[in-house]
Amino acid sequence: MSVRIPDLTSVRVRHPGAVAEAAERRVRRPLVGGSGRLLIVAADHPARGALGVGERGLAMANRAGLLERLCVALARPGVDGVLASADILEDLLLLGALDGKVVMGSMNRGGLAGASFEMDDRFTGHRARDIARLRFDAGKLLLRIDYEDPGSLATMESAARAVDEMAAARLPVFVEPFISRRVDGRIVNDLSAGAVTRSIAIASGLGGTSAYTWLKVPVTADPDDMAEVLATSTLPAVLLGGEVGDDQEGAYARWRKALRLPTVQGLVVGRSLLYPAKGGVEDAVDAAVSLL
């Protein structure tokens, strides 16, 4: 039995076992359905302390508002599932919003946005055994590599072990790689063709097997480079939507072009669907679905 958003705290207080019960009841589906394409809504930003959307610095801080937007998005035709941290996924389980959906657990959230230790991105979220225990369908990890920051090596090693653990459980893991650097104290991801190519090559070689590894990759600064960039690996890939700002049509055009490439299987998009610059959640989600 699902609960209402205002009742979530009461259920957590009085019956914490309801989360495991909801996970056991959840109706599952294959990772890739009949269309062969994936559209996943991402909502794992808050666990890294990244709450802003555009000029709204705390847009994602209101949990009831975020859950309402997620429920609207997940109910739209063509949306396959959700990527989030444990607290958000468990709220959605209790709300009954995850039946028939792909559920992806976010694994490393330790590299807090703006922290001095941001590149030492430890695994403070889902472990492989948590994803298996809750009958979730996949995991996701972020791998940002700064050649001048030793924390990147610790992140890279722990990411490799996570790939091994997910493969041992026969669970897909989506690796999101970047070459990054600090600019005026802030981490900036390099979206040039050369940098994205190197990040894909590094991510593809993580762990003792790549049999269960997928890539979650950004569209390069020049989308015309994507065919050559994605030729770096045979691993299946999904496109990282990212924050698109006011130019939604331009972003959709870039995604549409990259989605034609043979290794690209779909989209993982978060804030630009949940908090669109123009229109409502339904319109933004339906536009993304139309690209697939």
pLDDT at residue 2, rounded to an integer: 76
Compute CA 112 distance to the chain's CA centroid, rounded to the nearest angstrom.
16
Express each pLDDT in 25-41 by its tens digit: 999 999 998 878 999 99
Give dist(CA 151, CA 257) in Å, integer: 35
Coil, helix or strand at residue 144: strand
Shortest CA distance to 177 belongs to which of 248, 110, 107, 240? Answer: 240
Is residue 189 a contact partner of residue 212, using CB atoms and an 8 Å limit?
Answer: no
pLDDT at residue 243, rounded to an integer: 67
* CA distances to 7, 31, 43, 172, 287 from 105, in Å: 23, 13, 10, 11, 25
Shortest CA distance to 157 belongs to which of 140, 145, 148? Answer: 145
Beta-bridged to residue 84, according to DSSP, are 43, 105
Residues of the chain with pLDDT under 70: 1, 242-246
CB hemisphere CA count around 277 (13 angstroms)? 11
SS3 content of the chain, % helix, strand, coil (to 5): 40, 20, 40
Express each pLDDT in 244-256 by its tens digit: 666 777 788 888 9
- What percent of the chain stands above pLDDT 90? 85
- Please tell me the pTM assigned to this model: 0.95
Give the mean pLDDT of the chain: 94
Tokens representing 75 are: 């109910």
Shortest CA distance to 220 belongs to which of 243, 247, 189, 245? Answer: 189
pLDDT at residue 292, rounded to an integer: 87
Beta strand 186-189 pairing with 173-183: antiparallel
CATH for 5-291? 3.20.20.70
One-letter amino acid identity for 185? G
Phi–psi pair at 13, nearest 5 degrees: -70, -50
One-letter amino acid identity for 147? Y
pLDDT at residue 42, rounded to an integer: 96
Neighbour tally for 280: CB within 10 Å:
11
Residues in the chain: 292
* CA distances to 16, 63, 66, 201 from 98, in Å: 18, 17, 15, 33
Q: Give the burial class of 10: count Cβ atoms within 10 A of its Cβ; 0-12 exposed, 13-18 middle, 19 or more buried.
A: exposed
